[in-house]
Amino acid sequence: MSEVKFGEMKENVVTRKAFTLSKARETLKDEVIAVLGYGVQGPAQALNLKDSGFNVIVGQREGSASWDKAMVDGWEPGVNLFSLEKACEKGTFLCYLLSDAGQIAVWPTVKKYLTKGKTLCFSHGFAVTYRQQTGMVLPDHVDVVLVAPKGSGRSVRKLFLQNKGINASYAVEQDVSGNAQQKALAYGVGVGSGYLFETTFKKEVYSDLTGERGVLMGALAGIIEAQYEVLRENGHSPSEAFNETVEELTQSLVPLVAENGMDWMYSNCSTTAQRGALDWLPRFKKATVPVFKSLYKSVASGEEAARVIMENSAPDYKKRLDKELQAMGEREVWQVGRAVRKLRPET
């Protein structure tokens, strides 16, 4: 581990330089890693592990769209692609990457294959943290760990192929073997993590649910739509409103923040932009802090979890979700976005 200073605090983090890929392979050399689920995180983690030289199989419901996708990605039925039950039987290191609702639904099946000596790995703390609502009581004779890449499955795979990696958190809920932490770190290195930082199942899910509902998705989309609508109401063209709201954000400013930080991005903008941003930042912060406090309270109380479980388990949820996403796509701002992307210069 390496001690790194983050602001005024110091953290112990694990880098690929300290915990090498060869060490990760050695740690998991006797394990059959069974990636259960091939939806959002499953493809990226399974393919990254396979490309990194680990013994990986995929468990998925045969005949499903995800089964077909796994075959397109090169997984072979009967060789390294199996039903969930068969993968659970063959695997010694089970990576539970189904959706939260899916994990609840098939838990009785998975649990019976968690024999002594196996490891159960999650990429989300939801099921374990909210176990009173999910009903997922962990058997006490297996290691239980978490490795949570801080990005979508697409980003995890894309950055791996670019040899960049994406940061991940890790946690140990149960250490029966005495080697659970080493196994979690090895798995994290195998999926291509840039560096790994320690957390708990509870902290992971609290921060994750807050982030998704907040800055990463909910707040971002809400603020974008609000600014776009105000510009349009004041006579600005769709192209102007979109470019000043979304295109410049995603194509110019966010990459600068990612490269060297927010202060660096500010220092590389016009003096007029700098002054206005510095003046208005406190007003936006003051307006949104109460919203974030309310959001975090909702996450910590289990209210958000209860809603997710109820909604995602409903038989008509997929149909209603598709309708909601269609409605989002039909809003003018995102229709304009599709047109603008087509007008970008070809590289």
Full pLDDT tens readout for the chain, 347 residues: 777 778 888 888 899 889 999 999 999 999 999 999 999 899 999 999 999 999 999 999 988 999 999 999 999 999 999 999 999 999 999 999 998 888 999 999 999 999 999 999 999 999 999 999 999 999 999 999 999 999 889 999 999 999 888 899 999 999 999 999 999 999 999 999 988 999 999 999 999 999 999 999 999 999 999 999 999 999 999 999 999 999 999 999 999 999 999 999 999 999 999 999 999 999 999 999 999 999 999 999 999 999 999 998 889 999 999 999 999 999 999 999 999 999 988 75
Query: Do the domain assignments include residue 11?
Result: yes
Do residues 158 and 239 both lie within one domain?
no
pTM for this one?
0.92
Q: Is 42 within 8 Å of 224 (Cβ atoms)?
A: no
User: Does any domain span residue 277?
Assistant: yes
- Alpha-helical (H) ranges within 234-316 are 238-242, 248, 254-260, 262-267, 271-301, 303-313
Same domain, 12 and 147: yes
Q: Are residues 179 and 116 in the same domain?
A: yes
Are residues 46 and 193 both part of a single domain? yes
Q: Exactly one of 50, 118, 124, 183 is catalytic; name it.
A: 124
One domain for residues 178 and 222: no
Tell me whether residue 224 is in a domain.
yes
Domain edge (last residue) among 199, 226, 241: 199
Backbone angles phi, psi at 322, to 5 degrees: -60, -35
Domain that holds residue 274: 214-343
Would 297 be classed as within a structural domain?
yes
Based on the fold, state whether residues 138 and 221 are members of the same structural domain: no
Active site residue 124: yes
Indicate whether 178 and 247 sit together in one domain: no
Per-residue pLDDT, 8: 80
Closest CA to 52 of 242, 186, 204: 186
Q: Are residues 15 and 107 in the same domain?
A: yes
Where helices occur in the chain by DSSP H, the ranges are: 21-27, 42-51, 65-72, 84-90, 100-111, 126-129, 131-134, 153-161, 180-190, 201-213, 218-233, 238-242, 248, 254-260, 262-267, 271-301, 303-313, 317-330, 332-343
- Number of domains, the chain: 2
Tokens 């769209």 appear where?
65
